[in-house]
């Protein structure tokens, strides 16, 4: 990268236009600086690439049934292969975040999205189960590299006061990409088969790699920290055990011996990880961030809004499809959640800054909207009813992005400048935890109110209503945690951002 212009004006050759002002020095290439608005092109590029993170599992879930049939997977192998990408993603997050801080965040992003492209093609062309599995493992690693760096680069381009707006663009465009691709996925699948779903992700990822190379500046931590091998290994083992156990709980139930054993391993390992990071001289992850109320509240909110997303997303099709509701109708209703996400991202980006809404207001209102949407499903009287499920899915999607925007701004706004990549691992980690809990808890709760072998209206409505009560309690807990506006408004004002820096560095 020698010779590339940075944001320090005195180092610019006279023939080069000045680089855009960013919080962290960037290495801009001359052709990037010749663009009229290089920061805008950068955030649009990051948003388009970041949208691949939810798109891949969405298309994977649609295509996997065909892959199981064509490749002859038995049920045990199929269960493992279906979730292996998610498990590897969770295990890789902290390690790739640290490497991005040390060796260059754009370099790590480009490498990750390129690996996603290659792994998508490997999966699409897989002749057998072994090659298919390798493709999904590589997809997990590539996604971890890509998404952690997408999230990490944004706070190096925008000030803390501008983060809500920047993340609003990021999540809105990503949700729109997910909505459009999912809407057409059924047509593509019917016309060309399951392999095209994986090839589509691969092609989009390779296009994203080219775009990132052309449009994004390079940056890295100003100081090089040592690689925390023990911390990374402990985090990987703990997260693998946690994600795997929660996934197994959705199949075997929470009382299964393998589930309980896996959860025990996760609790012990993550406890040792926290102990190690609090005592090591140069921790891979700044564990002290959890002492900041806004950071802890953002993590709690991340678990909960992903929980609501998974609960309703999993329960509505499980009730409607066995009752004979046409798949096209169910798909159309589910797509409203993605429309809600686009709307929620845009609303959060605009309204939070315009009206000075605190993080506390955003989180509490979002959790209460989730609770209301879930409890409202008590009014569904037949599996063919679509109005309340449609409204519920839209509102939960809206609430997810209404909270996700300030959540990302808080988590990354609290990160020390030399550990942005490492801290970015928190966001997908809590997301995976919440999403897994949603799928693993919704069905057992609903079964308490279900009279037959399949989910009925009573189980659907009452089960989600019970979860709604949990969200009301969670909203009260978050409101109490953020009772001081000084700690709650970290993402909305420069003054609060400065306070957070002081708390982090204290």
Mean pLDDT of the 23-44 span: 83
Mean pLDDT of the 80-98 span: 85
Q: pLDDT at residue 486 above 50?
A: no
| Residues 285 and 94 sit within 8 Å (Cβ to Cβ) | yes
| 367 and 238 fall within a common domain | no
At 476, the pLDDT band (50, 70, 90 cuts) reads: very high
Q: Which of 149-153, 175-179, 206-210 has the lowest mean pLDDT?
A: 175-179
Residues 82, 84: Cα–Cα separation, whole Å: 6
Q: Residues 91-105: pLDDT tens digits?
A: 888 888 888 888 889
Q: Residues 157-207: pLDDT tens digits?
A: 888 888 888 888 888 888 888 888 877 777 788 788 899 999 999 999 999
| 234 and 197 fall within a common domain | no
What integer pLDDT is reported at residue 245 of this predicted model?
87
At 503, the pLDDT band (50, 70, 90 cuts) reads: very low
Residues 420, 7: Cα–Cα separation, whole Å: 19
| 208 and 258 fall within a common domain | no
Half-sphere exposure of 82 (CA within 13 A, CB side): 20
Cα dihedral value 196, 197, 201, 202, nearest 10:
-30
| 323 and 370 fall within a common domain | yes
| 437 and 307 fall within a common domain | yes
Q: Which domain holds residue 43?
A: 30-223
| 297 and 275 fall within a common domain | no
Q: pLDDT at residue 485 above 60?
A: no
Looking at 281, 305, 323, the residue that finishes a domain is: 281
At 13, the pLDDT band (50, 70, 90 cuts) reads: very low
| Residues 56 and 208 sit within 8 Å (Cβ to Cβ) | no
What integer pLDDT is reported at residue 373 of this predicted model?
96
What integer pLDDT is reported at residue 494 of this predicted model?
36
- In a domain? residue 48: yes
Residues 108, 99: Cα–Cα separation, whole Å: 8
- In a domain? residue 473: yes
Residues 462, 78: Cα–Cα separation, whole Å: 31
pTM for this one?
0.80
At 132, the pLDDT band (50, 70, 90 cuts) reads: very high
Q: How is residue 384 written in tokens? A: 């063919």
| 45 and 77 fall within a common domain | yes
Residues 448, 432: Cα–Cα separation, whole Å: 25
Mean pLDDT of the 304-318 span: 89
| 346 and 402 fall within a common domain | yes
Mean pLDDT of the 52-56 span: 89
- Tell me how crowded residue 373 is: count the other CB atoms within 10 A of its CB: 26
Q: Which residues contact 451 (CB under 8 A, 6 or more apart)?
A: 458, 459
Give CA 55 to chain center in angstroms.
Answer: 11
- What is the percent of the chain with per-residue pLDDT over 90, rounded to a whole number? 39
Please work out, in degrees rounded to the nearest 5, the angle formed at the alpha carbon of residue 468 by the alpha carbons of 177 and 336.
25
CB-based burial label for 76 (10 Å; 0-12, 13-18, 19+): exposed
| 258 and 337 fall within a common domain | no
Q: Which residues contact 3 (CB under 8 A, 6 or more apart)?
A: none
Q: Residues 408-456: pLDDT tens digits?
A: 889 988 888 888 888 888 888 888 888 888 888 888 898 889 887 788 8
At 484, the pLDDT band (50, 70, 90 cuts) reads: low
CB-based burial label for 4 (10 Å; 0-12, 13-18, 19+): middle
- Tell me how crowded residue 494 is: count the other CB atoms within 10 A of its CB: 11
Q: Which residues contact 252 (CB under 8 A, 6 or more apart)?
A: 258, 259
| 41 and 99 fall within a common domain | yes
Higher pLDDT: 208 or 11? It is 208
Q: For residue 27, what are the β-bridge partners?
A: 218
What integer pLDDT is reported at residue 495 of this predicted model?
32
Q: Which residues contact 458 (CB under 8 A, 6 or more apart)?
A: 449, 450, 451
DSSP result, 229-268? HHHHHHHHHHHHHHHHHHHHHHHH-TT-HHHHHHHHHHHH
Q: Which of 138, 177, 171 is nearest to 154 (CA)?
A: 171
Q: pLDDT at residue 52 above 70?
A: yes
| 148 and 199 fall within a common domain | yes
At 272, the pLDDT band (50, 70, 90 cuts) reads: very high
Half-sphere exposure of 137 (CA within 13 A, CB side): 7
Q: How is residue 251 written in tokens? A: 């199949």
Q: Residues 217-246: pLDDT tens digits?
A: 988 887 777 888 999 999 999 988 988 888
| Residues 274 and 260 sit within 8 Å (Cβ to Cβ) | no
CATH of the domain at 337: 1.20.1250.20
Q: pLDDT at residue 493 above 50?
A: no
| 299 and 433 fall within a common domain | yes
Average pLDDT, the chain: 85
What integer pLDDT is reported at residue 2 of this predicted model?
42
Looking at 176, 199, 223, the residue that finishes a domain is: 223
Q: Please report which helix (H) or strand (E) contains residue 419, including its range.
A: none
């Amino acid at each position: 990268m020698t010779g590339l212009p940075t944001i320090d004006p005195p180092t610019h050759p006279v023939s080069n236009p000045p680089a855009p002002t960013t919080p962290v020095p960037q290495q801009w290439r001359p052709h990037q600086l010749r663009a009229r608005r290089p920061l805008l092109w950068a955030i649009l590029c990051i948003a388009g690439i970041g949208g691949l993170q939810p798109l891949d599992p969405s298309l994977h879930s649609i295509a996997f049934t065909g892959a199981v049939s064509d490749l002859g997977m038995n049920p045990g192998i199929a269960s493992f292969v279906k979730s292996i990408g998610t498990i590897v993603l969770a295990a890789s997050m902290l390690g790739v975040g640290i490497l991005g801080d040390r060796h260059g965040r754009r370099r790590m992003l480009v490498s990750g999205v390129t690996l996603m492209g290659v792994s998508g093609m490997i999966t699409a062309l897989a002749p057998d189960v072994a090659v298919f599995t390798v493709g999904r493992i590589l997809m997990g690693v590539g996604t971890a590299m890509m998404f952690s760096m997408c999230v990490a680069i944004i706070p190096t381009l925008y000030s803390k006061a501008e983060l809500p707006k920047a993340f609003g663009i990021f999540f809105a465009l990503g949700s729109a990409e997910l909505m459009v691709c999912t809407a057409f996925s059924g047509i593509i699948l019917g016309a060309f088969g399951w392999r095209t779903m994986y090839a589509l992700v691969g092609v989009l990822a390779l296009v994203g790699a080219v775009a990132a190379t052309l449009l994004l500046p390079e940056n890295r931590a100003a100081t090089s920290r040592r690689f925390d091998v023990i911390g990374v290994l402990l985090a990987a083992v703990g997260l693998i055990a946690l994600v795997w156990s929660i996934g197994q709980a959705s199949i075997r139930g929470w009382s299964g011996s393998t589930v309980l054993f896996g959860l025990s391993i996760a609790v012990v390992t993550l406890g040792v990880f926290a102990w190690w990071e609090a005592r090591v001289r140069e921790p891979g992850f700044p564990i002290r961030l959890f002492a900041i109320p806004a950071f802890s509240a953002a993590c709690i909110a991340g678990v909960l809004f992903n929980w609501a997303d998974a609960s309703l997303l999993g329960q509505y099709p499980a009730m409607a499809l066995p009752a004979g509701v046409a798949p096209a109708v169910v798909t159309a209703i589910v797509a409203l959640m993605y429309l809600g996400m686009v709307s929620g991202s845009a609303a959060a980006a605009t309204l939070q800054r315009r009206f000075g809404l605190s993080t506390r207001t955003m989180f509490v209102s979002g959790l209460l909207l989730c609770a209301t949407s879930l409890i409202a499903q008590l009014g569904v009287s037949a599996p063919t009813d679509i109005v309340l499920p449609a409204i519920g899915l839209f509102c939960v999607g809206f609430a997810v992005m209404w909270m996700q925007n300030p959540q990302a701004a808080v988590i990354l706004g609290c990160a020390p400048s030399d550990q942005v990549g490492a801290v970015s691992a928190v966001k997908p980690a809590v997301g995976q935890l919440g999403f897994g809990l949603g799928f693993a808890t919704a069905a057992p709760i609903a079964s308490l109110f279900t009279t037959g072998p399949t989910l009925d209206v009573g189980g659907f409505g009452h089960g989600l209503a019970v979860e709604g009560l949990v969200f009301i309690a969670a909203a009260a807990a978050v409101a109490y945690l953020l009772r001081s506006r000084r700690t709650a408004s970290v993402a909305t004002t420069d003054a609060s951002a400065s306070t957070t820096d002081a708390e982090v560095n204290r």
